[in-house]
């Protein structure tokens, strides 16, 4: 039987038809995954890692089914991508229609409506009701690079300010903007110049508690003294940091930065690549405090798993760039644009910001209770369905990365796909698809609780 002949509920057809259950039928990874892994080791460069080498056969709703028939609860969403679920019906339908019509013409050669439709949607959904324009790309790093290009042309200035623990990508400029050396930057320099790092608001790790406003002043004072406000093209910040540890800045930090940027004609760029598209319980992470950035970068959740990214911003800023200055062969590929339009429709129809808030309440409730009886859980934080715990040596804030690694590995063995993150590698993060069933999520949280009790 070929894949196309299978009934919608077959374990090999993805999407919501897949049984929504945790099912471990072999050791993890199982024999078929181990065989594939042996082949992979011969064929794929060592530098490309995998968190959990189970090879995927199908995925949908809140589960990933591997080639051995194990069904894992997905608390990763492909690093915050498949918020609408894997093989989401509206995405699949839109993609199928598009691939049958045409797959590529290059928007810079012969344009098509889907690209314009995505830019309209971005203008409507991103923070602020001013006139906005967008340009589309294929990866998050590319969007960040282009936001910097645009900010430099528009401002006539060079300097780019980023923050401690930031993650912005793996290309040369975005490596310079990313904070963590191993594994992202180690040995890959020299890096792009004119990138300056300012102190982040990281409530759990402040030596002395300070407010968001004070943390913003600390950052802007550093910028004024070490860089000079009139040298700065843009300040780039993740409203909730992703790879850096799901760091939620203290309230007042983002508005404080935005105010300073306005005063000094510095462009504020919100990197919403991980926090955007419903993940934090709002359409964008900036919405929580009503911050309106000049430019917003998006990727990941925008297109339900197809590669698409965007820079959206003030029309005057976006239009500062000369004709031909922005682009790329695949940027805004028609199939990826169709996927985005399907995904955005799914987000609207299923009220995924509301779903993210509900999932966040469930997870934060469980994890807060867990923290009360587990001294190794130093902090529980997050917004919407972007939630994490930080593991430490009991009674201190000293990071315990080894514990995070053990807990994550034990969750994997029990059929729950978790990820770690953080500058110190000690943060366990939870990023379920926003369409996951509440019972399945509760089951996965039970596993996390049992594993923590056994290991911490
Ligand atoms: N900005 C805020 O989270 C991607 C990277 C995983 P790309 N984060 C996951 C890894 O180890 O490579 C990310 C992000 C933020 C930019 C990016 C970069 O997006 O699509 O991976 O280029």
Read off the pLDDT of residues 365-407 as tens digits, 9 standing for 90 and up.
Answer: 999 999 999 999 999 999 999 999 999 999 999 999 999 999 9
- Bond from prior residue into 70 cis (ω within 30 degrees of 0): no
Domain membership of residue 116 (yes or no) is: yes
Q: Which whole-number Å values give the CA distances from 332 to 79, 100, 328, 356, 366, in the listed order?
A: 21, 17, 9, 27, 40
Domain final position from 320, 349, 378: 349
Whether residue 299 has its Cβ less than 6 Å from ligand 1: yes
d(CA 330, ligand 1 centre) in Å? 18
Q: Which of 136, 167, 186 to mutate to test the pocket of ligand 1 (most atoms within 8 A of CB)?
A: 167
Mean pLDDT, residues 2-10 taken together: 40
Condensed to tens digits (0 to 9), the pLDDT of residues 78-118 reads 999 999 999 999 999 999 999 999 999 999 999 999 999 99
Name which residue sits closest to atom 1 of ligand 1, judged by CA.
168
> Tokens for 328?
């790329």
Q: How many residues does the chain have?
A: 456
CATH of the domain at 396: 3.90.1150.10
d(CA 188, ligand 1 centre) in Å? 17
CATH of the domain at 201: 3.40.640.10
d(CA 251, ligand 1 centre) in Å? 24
- Domain tally, the chain: 2
pLDDT confidence band for 3 (50 / 70 / 90):
very low
- Residue 4's pLDDT is 35
Mean pLDDT, residues 29-46 taken together: 98
Domain assignment of residue 174, given as a range:
90-349
Residues 330 and 255 in one domain: yes
pLDDT confidence band for 11 (50 / 70 / 90):
low
Residues 412 and 298 in one domain: no
Mean pLDDT, residues 192-203 taken together: 98
Whether pLDDT at 75 is above 60: yes
- Residue 48's pLDDT is 98
Distance CA 331, CA 149 (A): 16
Residues 300 and 162 in one domain: yes
Residues 249 and 315 in one domain: yes
What phi and psi values does residue 198 have, to the nearest 5 degrees? Answer: -110, 160
- Residue 13's pLDDT is 76
Return the residue matching tokens 């004119």: 194
Residues 232 and 376 in one domain: no
Domain membership of residue 190 (yes or no) is: yes
Domain membership of residue 286 (yes or no) is: yes
Average confidence score pLDDT of the chain: 96
d(CA 103, ligand 1 centre) in Å? 25
Domain final position from 333, 349, 365: 349
Q: Which of 78, 81, 141 to mutate to test the pocket of ligand 1 (most atoms within 8 A of CB)?
A: 141
If we measure between CA atoms, which residue out of 433, 369, 382 comes closest to residue 72? 433
Distance CA 158, CA 189 (A): 20
Residues 293 and 225 in one domain: yes
Whether residue 167 has its Cβ less than 6 Å from ligand 1: yes
Condensed to tens digits (0 to 9), the pLDDT of residues 296-346 reads 999 999 999 999 999 999 999 999 999 999 999 999 999 999 999 999 999
Whether residue 271 has its Cβ less than 6 Å from ligand 1: yes
Residues 290 and 366 in one domain: no
Condensed to tens digits (0 to 9), the pLDDT of residues 248-284 reads 999 999 999 999 999 999 999 999 999 999 999 999 9
Domain membership of residue 176 (yes or no) is: yes
Condensed to tens digits (0 to 9), the pLDDT of residues 164-189 reads 999 999 999 999 999 999 999 999 99
- Residue 12's pLDDT is 64
Domain membership of residue 80 (yes or no) is: no
Name which residue sits closest to atom 16 of ligand 1, judged by CA.
168
Domain membership of residue 84 (yes or no) is: no
CB 316 within 8 A of CB 300: no
Residues 56 and 165 in one domain: no
Whether residue 241 has its Cβ less than 6 Å from ligand 1: no
Whether pLDDT at 436 is above 60: yes
CB 346 within 8 A of CB 91: yes
Neighbours of 78 (CB within 10 A): 17
Whether pLDDT at 1 is above 50: no
Whether pLDDT at 361 is above 90: yes
d(CA 404, ligand 1 centre) in Å? 21
Q: Which atom of ligand 1 is the closest one to the Cα of 300?
A: 20
- Residue 182's pLDDT is 98
Rama region for 351: left / alpha / beta (φ>0; ψ in -120 to 50; rest): left
Residues 296 and 367 in one domain: no
Residues 287 and 371 in one domain: no
Residue 408 burial by CB count (10 A; 0-12/13-18/19+): exposed, middle or buried? buried
d(CA 178, ligand 1 centre) in Å? 10
Residues 236 and 104 in one domain: yes
Whether residue 169 has its Cβ less than 6 Å from ligand 1: yes
d(CA 164, ligand 1 centre) in Å? 16
Distance CA 193, CA 320 (A): 22
Domain membership of residue 82 (yes or no) is: no
Mean pLDDT, residues 198-224 taken together: 98
Domain membership of residue 81 (yes or no) is: no
Mean pLDDT, residues 202-229 taken together: 98
pTM of the model: 0.97
Residues 274 and 293 in one domain: yes
Domain final position from 349, 370, 389: 349
Whether pLDDT at 288 is above 80: yes
Neighbours of 229 (CB within 10 A): 18
Helix (H, G, I), strand (E, B) or coil at 195: strand
């Amino acid at each position: 039987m070929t894949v196309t002949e299978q009934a919608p509920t077959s374990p090999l057809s993805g999407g919501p038809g897949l049984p929504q259950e945790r099912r471990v039928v072999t050791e993890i990874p199982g024999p078929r995954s181990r065989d594939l892994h042996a082949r992979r080791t011969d064929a794929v460069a060592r530098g490309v890692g995998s968190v959990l080498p189970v090879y995927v056969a199908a995925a949908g709703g809140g589960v990933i089914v591997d080639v051995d028939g194990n069904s894992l609860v997905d608390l990763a969403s492909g690093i915050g991508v498949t918020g609408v679920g894997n093989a989401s019906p509206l995405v699949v339908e839109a993609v199928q229609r598009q691939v049958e019509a045409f797959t590529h013409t290059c928007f810079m050669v012969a344009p098509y409506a889907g690209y314009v439709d995505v830019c309209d949607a971005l203008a409507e959904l991103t923070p602020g009701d001013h006139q906005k324009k967008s340009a589309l790309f294929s990866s998050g790093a590319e969007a960040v690079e282009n936001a910097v290009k645009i900010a430099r042309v528009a401002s006539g200035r060079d300097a780019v300010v980023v923050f401690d623990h930031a993650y912005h990508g793996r290309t040369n400029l975005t490596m310079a903007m990313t904070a963590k050396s191993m594994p992202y930057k180690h040995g890959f320099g020299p890096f792009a110049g004119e990138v300056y790092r300012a102190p982040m608001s990281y409530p759990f790790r402040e030596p002395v508690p300070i407010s968001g406003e004070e943390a913003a002043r600390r950052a802007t004072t550093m910028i004024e003294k070490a860089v000079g406000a009139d040298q700065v093209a843009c300040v780039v910040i993740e409203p909730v940091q992703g790879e850096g540890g799901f760091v939620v800045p203290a309230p007042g930090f983002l508005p404080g930065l935005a105010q300073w940027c306005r005063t000094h004609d510095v462009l504020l760029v919100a990197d919403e690549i991980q926090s955007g598209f419903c993940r934090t319980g709002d359409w964008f992470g900036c919405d929580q405090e009503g911050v309106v950035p000049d430019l917003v970068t998006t990727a990941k959740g925008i297109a339900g798993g197809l590669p698409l990214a965007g820079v959206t911003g003030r029309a005057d800023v976006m239009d500062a760039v000369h004709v031909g200055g922005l682009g790329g062969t695949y940027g805004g590929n028609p199939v990826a644009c169709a996927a985005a339009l399907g995904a955005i429709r799914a987000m609207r129809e299923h009220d995924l910001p509301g779903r993210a808030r509900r999932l966040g309440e469930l997870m934060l409730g469980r994890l807060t209770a867990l923290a009360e009886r587990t001294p190794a859980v130093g902090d529980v934080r997050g917004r919407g369905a972007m939630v994490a715990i930080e593991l430490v040596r009991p009674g201190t804030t000293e990071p315990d990365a080894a514990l995070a690694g053990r807990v994550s590995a034990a969750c994997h063995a029990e059929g729950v796909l978790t990820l770690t993150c953080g500058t110190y590698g000690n943060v366990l993060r939870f990023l379920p698809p926003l369409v996951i069933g509440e019972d399945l999520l509760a089951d996965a949280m039970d596993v996390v609780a049992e594993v923590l009790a056994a290991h911490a």
